[in-house]
Structure 1
Amino acid sequence: MTVSKRKQDFPILFQQVNDEPLVYLDNAASTHVPTPVINDLVTYMQTSHANVHRGVHTLAERATSQYEAARETVRTFIDASSVKEVLFTRGTTTGLNWVARSLGELVVEAGDKIVISRMEHHSNIVPWQELAKRKQAELIYIDLTEDGELDMADAKEKIVSGVKIVSIAHASNVLGVVNPVKDLAKLAHEVGAVMVVDGAQSTPHMTVSVQELDCDFYAFSGHKMCAPTGIGVLYGKQTWFEKMSPIEFGGEMINFVYDDYSTWAELPYKFEAGTPNISGAIALASAIKYLEEIGLDTITKHEQELVEYVLPKLLAIDGFELYGPRDASKHTGVIAFNIKGVHPHDLATALDMQGVAIRAGHHCAQPLLRYLDVHSTARASFYFYNTKEDADSLVESIIAAKEFFSDGFI
């Protein structure tokens, strides 16, 4: 089965929006869930749903078995060395906050430095801002090159002695660039810093090996990779998780509770307080198996072909302003842009009237947009179930919207 034929697994895509066929190009915000994943989720809910770990009855044991099997599926997917290094979270934001709160308290002191980049999502900015305030540390930003790539010369100047944490997006949710995480990790480790990676925009689209990247922490979300919302993963090297303290308490993370103190469960349960999102973890594992059946390298290639096909067509539109590299080979499936003279929210509304779903706004990256000197942008983002026909619809709808705002008809 070709990649584009996988679209048949997504009934939600076969509907009319404003009397037009839906063209869904908002995948950087959330992808859709295929029928096989939905079926696996329904089967679990209908046959095995129960709380995990402590029950001895059949349903509890069945649910526990599936939940822990999901953890192993994640482990192999990201090439972690042990299931003790895989924590289930609510998503990327939760994972990054856990690291900033727990690791931050452990390694950052007054006067230390935390390094991030200009292209980060708010979820990879605000937790570090708060840590810097708590610890009286300095938050430093790596600048970008003229075409929107990470400036590695600037990175080398800023990742120096006194830096305790470096936290960078593997791929930008606005500029569509992939950052050299392995090189950054090397720079970080040379000065004794910890390397944290926001993998929300990379994990769904490319093969990821946390061991090859040599990052210390890596967070990602299920809803951006064909799983439901509310489930995510935080990977961390076991040596760090063993040193770190949990930041949520109760339920599964407890070992013994005495009158005056408590002890924590072994990894990975030490950090997973309360009843976990069992169904979400099982659905995430199903989504991973679905993606692996297609092949992450195949997904990368398909998205690259779509960008190489559509980007020249978009750049040919008069007044089209691209944010990020003009070289299609340097792009993920994310394309952020503006049309001169048209507010991006107006453009997104006009495209929606033609059935084309894109996003408009600051994309939870206000510092980046200030750096680019724009208030907001439009953003189209492709996934493996998109086709060249979808790309053509994007181009045609932009041209029609541009004519409407110029001439008053669409």
Structure 2
Amino acid sequence: MTTALFTPASTAGLSDGRAAVSGQPLSAVTGAEIQAPLIQGGHVRYANLDYGASAPALSVVSAYLNEILPFYASVHRGAGYASQISTSVYENSRSIVRDFVGGRPDDSVIFTRNTTDSLNLLAGCLPVQDGRHTGEVLYLDIEHHANLLPWQGVPHRSVVAADTLAETIEVLRAELQQGGVSLLAVTGASNVTGEILPIRTLAALAHEFGARIVVDAAQLAPHRRINISADDVDYLAFSGHKLYAPFGAGVLVGRPDWLDAGTPHLAGGGAVREARLDGVSWATGPARHEGGSPNVLGAATLARATQVIAALDPAQWTAHEATIRQFLVEGLQEIDGISVHQIFKDTDQKTGTIGVVNFSVAGYDAGLVAAYLSAEHGVGLRDGRFCAHPLLKRLGLPSGSLRASFGVGSRLEDAQRLLAGLEELRQTGLGWDYVVDSGRWIPANDTRSYPDWAPNTPGTAGAAPCSED
């Protein structure tokens, strides 16, 4: 393969010749034309292939924010004009989100900080009798930490996934047959490899043995339509920052009985019916877990984003994403020394995946490759262990790998630029010297300028070990 293949709007590498909606975005996002400075001089349009961590806000959502921001005020207890509007916007957001996921009429919709927060909330609502939990939580070793760590504080049972999805389902069946499981916790789509799990099948399996199911949909919701009523899913959690909305809002949707009886997630104002000096009567419904002033703008923009996503033509949406993914995977497989990773041998790479591709480059640290692609090619993607340490060890990648992720604002050109950069790396090596600073690879003697308002230039702040939640 040579870099000549990677020209704008090219469909080289696509075995069936499909084009990704002329290689253009499916929906407009903010920041789509950001100019990234290159270490060797000049600028290039930033190729954002890090949607899986935090997606850019939809342009429609940004416009909506500017429309409602002047009316931002207190909610629920304010008699003023702005407070009444803010309350209406906030509460209506619940109905919008419930409709987006195909929720049942009585499902609770609780706004949280993110998916991690939602799943920790649910962990505090597992059934208890006589001071003891009535069952265990069952989960696989492929989970994001958000759907792994909250369950370690309650009775739990972890299972190593098999080499195929079919075999993994049978492994879960064997565990459930042993009894004692109250909740099956699964991801909707892997944040590491993009592989989709069969939610409806797993829900039926859990219910067959008297358990409920919760789905971590942080990655699935931005890429596929979900219907928890049709799939008979009990609880669903996802995050606004992965669904093209700003302000760090998340949501938990699901059956109200456990939630109404569970430990209030955040003790404070609004979560009570009556507070006394020596006790409290807690509220039921979403208020029970939304103590304090809520993230009104976060909930509102999350709801608006779901409306935009719900209005997309499903066939066009999946075709846009699948075409970019196929082009990228086939291109990576043609470059010597690059390995594309997946969990299950029987995953259909065309229909059983979302816009996430995981790979590694032989002879290079993943962080160094990411720094090189950013500095020399203006490509942004993820490196590390993706808050899924057990899975990375399972894949034989204990020190990490690389992940390209994309969505409705992506262009075929973004994938082409990534492939061209990797081909150049394999043919000629690094074009600049790189050093490790605060645990991260950065270009040596970096003199590129950044916005005056940016508090730190890259590499000057300590690197967080895991920030995908």
Q: Give the TM-score taking structure 1 as reference length.
A: 0.91
Contact kept? 1:204, 1:224, Cα under 8 Å:
yes
Aligned equivalents of 1:51, 1:336: Cα separation in 2: 44
Instruction: Decide which structure has greater helix share.
Output: 1
Equivalent in the alignment of 2:199: 181
The 3 A distance-change label for structure 1 pair 311 and 219 is: same
1:83-123 CA distances to partner (integer Å, 9 max, x unpaired)?
65111110100000011122165699579542111210011
Counterpart code for 1:32: P
* CA drift at 1:397: 1.1
Looking at structure 1, the residues matched to 134 and 258 of structure 2 have their Cα atoms a distance apart, in angstroms, of: 22
Residue in structure 2 matched with residue 313 of structure 1 by the alignment: 331
Structure 1 108/340 Cα, relative in aligned 2: closer, same or farther at 3 Å?
Answer: farther
CA distance in 2, matches of 1:252, 1:2: 50
CA contact (8 A) 2:127 2:133 kept: no
Shift of 1:150: 7.2
Q: 1:7 to 1:23 in 2, by over 3 A?
A: farther
Query: Is the Cα–Cα contact under 8 Å of residues 194 and 355 in structure 2 kept in the other structure?
Result: yes
> Is residue 331 from structure 1 mapped to residue 359 from structure 2 by the alignment?
no
Q: CA deviation at 1:317?
A: 0.9
- Is this contact kept in 1: 2:23–2:413, CA < 8 A? no
Aligned residue runs from structure 1 range 139-178, under 5 A: 139-145=157-163, 151-160=168-177, 161-178=179-196
Q: Which one of the candidate residues 74, 77, 92 is aligned to 2:97?
A: 74
Is 1:85 the counterpart of 2:135? The answer is: no
Whole-angstrom distance in 2 between the partners of 1:226 and 1:106: 41
Change (3 A) 1:397 1:168: same
Which stretch shifts more, 318-327 or 183-192? 318-327
- How far apart are 1:401 and its partner, in Å? 2.0
The answer to whether the 8 Å contact 1:196/1:217 transfers is yes
CA contact (8 A) 1:150 1:179 kept: no
Matches within 5 A, 1:252-331: 252-324=270-342, 325=347, 327-331=349-353
Gaps of 5+ in 2: 1-20, 434-469
SS at match of 1:329: coil
1:387-398 to 2 correspondence within 5 Å?
387-398=411-422
Give the alignment of 1:127-146 within 5 angstroms: 127-131=150-154, 137-145=155-163
The corresponding residue for 1:115 is 138
Q: Tell me, yes or no, if the aligned pair for 1:3 and 1:384 is still in contact at 8 Å.
A: no
3-state SS in 2 of match to 1:386: coil
Deviations 1:390-410, CA, capped at 9 Å, x for gaps: 12111111111223438989x
User: Is 1:55 the equivalent of 2:78?
Assistant: yes
Q: Match of 1:294, SS?
A: coil
Quote the residue 2:426 is aligned against: 402
1:84–1:274 CA distance, 2 compared to 1 (3 A): farther
Matched position secondary structure for 1:289: helix
Residues 125 and 258, structure 2, Cα contact 8 Å, conserved in 1: no
For residues 260 and 431 of structure 2, the distance between their equivalents in structure 1, rounded to whole angstroms, comes to 64
Distance 1:186 1:7, change over 3 A: closer
Aligned counterpart in structure 2 of residue 16 of structure 1, from 25, 36, 48:
36
Q: What residue number does 1:44 align with?
A: 68
What secondary structure is seen at the aligned counterpart in 1 of 2:238? Answer: strand
Distance 1:240 1:393 in 2: 48
2:439 is aligned to none
| Residue number in structure 2 paired with 1:196 | 214
Pair 1:195–1:142, CA change in 2 (3 A): farther
Q: CA deviation at 1:154?
A: 1.5
SS in 1 for 2:143: coil
Counterpart of 1:386 in structure 2 is 410
Query: Contact between 1:108 and 1:164, CA under 8 Å: does it hold in 2?
Result: no
How many equivalent residue pairs?
Answer: 403
- Greater alpha carbon shift after TM alignment, 18-27 vs 196-205: 18-27
Give a deviation string over 1:371-402, Cα, whole Å, max 9, x none: 11212010001112212221211111111122
Asked whether the equivalents of residues 182 and 210 of structure 2 are also in contact (C-alpha less than 8 Å), the reply is yes
Taking structure 1 as reference, are residues 252 and 106 closer, same or farther at Cα in structure 2, changes over 3 Å only? farther
1:209 is matched with 227
Cα 1:3–1:42 change in 2 (3 A) is farther
- AA of the residue aligned to 1:62: I
Q: Deviations over 1:285-310 (max 9, x none)?
A: 22112222324553223111211222
Partner of 2:264: 246
1:31-77 Cα deviation digits (max 9, x unpaired): 0012221121122222x111100111111101101111111111110
Aligned-pair CA distance for 1:7? 5.5
CA distance in 1, matches of 2:432, 2:91: 58
Name the structure 2 match of 1:134. none
Amino acid in the other structure paired with 2:206: A
For 2:85 and 2:173, the matched residues in 1 are separated by 50
Q: 1:115 to 1:220 in 2, by over 3 A?
A: same
Give the unaligned 5+ runs of structure 1.
132-136
Alignment of 1:358-369 (within 5 A): 358-369=381-392
Q: Kindly state the Cα deviation for residue 340 of structure 1 after the two structures are TM-superposed.
A: 1.1
In the alignment, structure 1 residue 345 sits paired with structure 2 residue 363: no
Are residues 335 and 111 of structure 1, via their aligned partners in 2, closer, same or farther at CA, if it must alter by over 3 Å?
same
CA distance in 1, matches of 2:328, 2:167: 24
Amino acid at match of 2:427: E
Could you tell me how far 1:269 is from its partner in structure 2? 1.4
